[in-house]
Amino acid sequence: MVLYTLVATFLCTLVLPLLLFLATAKLWEIYIIRGRDPSCPRPLPPGTMGLPFLGETLQMVLQRRKFLRIKRQKYGCIYKTHLFGNPTVRVMGADNVRQILMAEHKLVAVQWPASVRTILGSDTLSNVHGAQHKNKKKAIMKAFSREALENYVPVIQEEVRSAVSDWLRSESGVLVYPEMKRLMFRIAMRILLGFEPEQTKTDEQDLVEAFEEMIKNLFSLPIDVPFSGLYRGLKARSFIHSKIEENIKKKMEKCIDETKHRDALQLLIENCRKNEEGLNMQEIKESATELLFGGHETTASTATSLVMFLGLHSDVIMRVRQELREKELLDSLSQDKRLDIEMLEQLKYTGCVIKETLRINPPVPGGFRVALKTFELNGYQIPKGWNVIYSICDTHDVAEAFPNKQDFHPERFMSKAPEDASRFSYIPFGGGARRCVGKEFAKVLLKIFLVELVTKCNWTLLNGPPTMKTGPTVYPVDNLPTKFSSYVSN
């Protein structure tokens, strides 16, 4: 009797759970195999699907670039995996990415993970489709016209100069990445949402912290329970929405001055008023939050990478200064001369420095789509309903248009050849119908930042080359501690 009890206990505690796990794994395998469309003769891409239900989400979240590098080395430019609750195909390489980006609404449609859609909102530009996407994009693009950008230059220059002055006064050095996020957040609040300077200073710290929390939890399991990532992200979003709503109400109370430039938030309000449904406060808050996210997080990432790459390549700084000297801008800018769009357009090499930074460290690693129907891609089938992730960083890495890919070499962009060799070898702003609407704004902002930095500062990276991580944008794990000192032109 005792022996029987021991055997029964052994079976219940060890063998039965093992059998259940094996059965679950087998059912998982069958489920994945059934995902293949039998009407298509092509095989599924190579790859692994990970653990039952969880897939490979945890490995990807924890390892990020290492996970992606191992996958690419093992399976090539198209492979399958299982992320954020969905079977997924990851795609890289100019030709493969071109087919995805140019097939919007035909073969694929944008579909970010459930946690992103929940936190940012279903009515944001990145999540809407068809006519709604077209109308919203048209309204926002007015905020990035050449005339609008010209009006932004003084505000950007004022904020950058103020930040650089603070950095120069710090004797122990500064943590560049957090400083850059605050700087770009202030600029986005003033330019995109029309916050007044004093209001920006009052709300900045609380809003920055809330955005940090929201962004940290964008890519999380879609489970809204207390203390979960999604719960924390939504709580932070609620605070951001409350501050934006205050600003929206102030704007609505004011009479519109037709002669004065209107910020992106004002344009969104006007666009909503023109719709038959009338003013939708939730929709405007979601769109404004998306603008703040896109308008500061990505530029903060790239500006930090600029400081890093130039801190490691003093010869590039010298050449930027030489270009400014040739345009008779170096001395005048150090004496607080005001920039304009025409001046910025003349700085070709400075623009190449930004392009090369975006090539090596694109701030956004890729984009999410969903297959609307089963289709073939480079000999593999992509089943209907599967997620498709196109990779920006890996596409840059495998592009044959860029020899010596690991070298920071802005001169490669001085001729048109590298960028034009294939339209989709270089895609830091994405491509197709969903190419980044703030592309020109980002270029102007980053060029002003770089010009102001090299005319005012020398700098040293206190920890040397940092380790870079992605979450969700690219950043240095040590926050890039840097000592700035004044530069005096000879």
Q: Pairing mode, if any, of strands 387-391 and 86-91?
A: parallel
Angle of helix 348-360 relative to helix 281-312, nearest 10 degrees?
100
The answer to whether 324 touches 451, Cβ cutoff 8 Å, is yes
The answer to whether 455 touches 334, Cβ cutoff 8 Å, is yes
Could you give the CA distance from residue 84 to residue 55 in angstroms, rounded to a whole number? 8
Q: What is the CA radius of gyration of the chain?
A: 25
Could you give the CA distance from residue 444 to residue 470 in angstroms, rounded to a whole number? 24
Q: Which amino acid is at 392?
A: I
What pLDDT is attached to residue 255? 59
What pLDDT is attached to residue 421? 47
Q: Is the dihedral of CA 100, 104, 108, 112 positive or negative?
A: positive
Q: Which of 270, 80, 267 is nearest to 191 (CA)?
A: 267
The answer to whether 57 touches 23, Cβ cutoff 8 Å, is no
What DSSP state is assigned to residue 346? Answer: T
What pLDDT is attached to residue 238? 93
β-bridge mates for residue 482, sequence order: 174, 461
Q: Is the peptide bond before 362 cis (omega within 30 degrees of 0)?
A: no
Query: Alpha carbon of 442 to those of 156, 245, 295, 299: distances in Å?
Result: 11, 25, 8, 6
Q: Can you give the pTM of this predicted structure? A: 0.87
Could you give the CA distance from residue 422 to residue 348 in angstroms, rounded to a whole number? 21
Mark the ranges of the chain whose per-residue pLDDT is less than 50. 419-421
Q: Long-range contacts made by residues 180-183, C-beta under 8 angstroms, separation at least 24?
A: 180/300, 180/303, 180/304, 180/307, 181/208, 181/212, 181/296, 181/297, 181/300, 182/208, 183/159, 183/300, 183/303
Angle at 233 between CA 160 and CA 442, to 5 degrees: 30
Angle at 262 between CA 257 and CA 266, to 5 degrees: 100
Buried b (16+ CB within 10 A) or exposed e, 255-283: eeeeeeebbbbbbbbebbeeeeeeeeeeb
Query: Alpha carbon of 196 to those of 156, 190, 337, 391, 448: distances in Å?
Result: 14, 6, 24, 38, 21
CB atoms within 10 A of CB 110: 18
The answer to whether 64 touches 470, Cβ cutoff 8 Å, is yes
Token pair of 149 as six digits: 């950008």
Q: Which residues are annotated as a binding site for heme?
A: 436
Token pair of 147 as six digits: 């005339």
